[in-house]
């Protein structure tokens, strides 16, 4: 099976012929200071709560990347560095995060595991301090639903990705089921306090960020998270 086969899903079908390009992504708005504060509080127990429950999606994302020796990978929202040891040792990984407490945990992990191919930087995902086309793969795991401006983040991800490179988003998005979607909208102002908006609109996100996915796969158990893989044209 080819690495990038377009898997037609309900989410991708919804993008066509709707108001996706103009509608609000979420009922919940956040600012950088709020996000940083949330993750400062989560740093000490993030791995225990979100580690095992979301690990299958992390493994699948790395597998889908098809990383080749020497490729440059940017992980946007590296958090505690939980992905660091999953990457092949013969690629070059840069991880960025806004939270100093999360980065401190990541640095400890990288040192403990002896990972010499990983560097960590404090940086705003919506204002990446890298030149255009600096990376072969740009990956945002479990990040897009908490940042203040998901579209700005993905545009920056695309900017620093080389032509022909891969832009990958692993995230929870609002269910296409109307009943579940209404519940996710209702609880989103609460879930943001544990690190994510539960009602982020995938079709609107794709349309407004001008992303054209080559695959959208459901991951984890239960399959409430989506692995979205795009090629930069």
Question: Between 20 and 67, whose confidence is greater?
Answer: 67
Among 51-55, 116-120, 126-130, the least confident range: 51-55
Mean pLDDT of the chain, nearest integer:
90
Q: Is the pLDDT of residue 18 over 80?
A: no
Task: Please report the pLDDT score of residue 35 as a whole number.
Answer: 84
Mean local confidence (pLDDT), 110-129: 97
10-231: which CATH topology? Answer: Rossmann fold (3.40.50)
Q: Of all residues in the chain, what percent carry a pLDDT higher than 90?
A: 75
Task: Please report the pLDDT score of residue 150 as a whole number.
Answer: 95
Specify the 3-state DSSP secondary structure of 78. coil
Find out whether 198 and 171 touch, Cβ atoms under 8 Å.
no
Q: Is the pLDDT of residue 3 over 80?
A: no
State the virtual CA torsion across 41, 42, 44, 47 in degrees, nearest 10. 180
- C-alpha–C-alpha distance, residues 189 and 28, integer Å: 6
Task: Please report the pLDDT score of residue 20 as a whole number.
Answer: 86
* 37-54 residue pLDDT tens: 888 888 888 898 888 999
Q: Is the pLDDT of residue 13 over 90?
A: no
Task: Please report the pLDDT score of residue 19 as a whole number.
Answer: 82
Sequence ranges of the domains in the chain: 10-231
Task: Please report the pLDDT score of residue 113 as a whole number.
Answer: 97
User: Is omega for the bond preceding 215 within 30 degrees of 0, making it cis?
Assistant: no
């Amino acid at each position: 099976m080819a690495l990038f086969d377009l898997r037609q899903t309900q989410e991708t079908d919804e993008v066509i012929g709707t108001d996706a390009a103009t509608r609000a992504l979420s009922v919940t708005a956040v600012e950088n200071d709020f996000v940083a504060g949330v993750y400062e509080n989560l740093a000490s127990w993030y791995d225990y709560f979100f580690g095992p429950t979301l690990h299958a999606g992390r493994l699948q994302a790395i597998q889908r990347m098809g990383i080749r020796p020497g490729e440059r990978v940017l992980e946007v929202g590296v958090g505690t560095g939980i992905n660091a040891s999953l990457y092949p040792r013969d690629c070059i990984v840069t991880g960025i995060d806004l939270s100093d407490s999360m980065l401190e945990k990541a640095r400890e992990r990288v040192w403990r595991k002896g990972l010499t191919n990983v560097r960590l930087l404090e940086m705003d995902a919506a204002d990446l301090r890298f030149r255009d086309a600096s990376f072969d793969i740009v990956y945002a795991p479990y990040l897009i639903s908490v940042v203040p401006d998901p579209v700005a983040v993905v545009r920056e991800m695309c900017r620093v990705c080389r032509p022909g490179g891969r832009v990958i988003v692993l995230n929870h998005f609002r269910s296409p089921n109307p009943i579940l979607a209404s519940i996710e909208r209702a609880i989103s102002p609460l879930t943001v306090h544990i690190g994510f908006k539960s009602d982020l609109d995938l079709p609107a996100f794709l349309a407004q960020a001008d992303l054209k996915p080559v695959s959208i796969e459901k991951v984890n158990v239960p399959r409430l998270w989506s692995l979205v893989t795009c090629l930069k044209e």
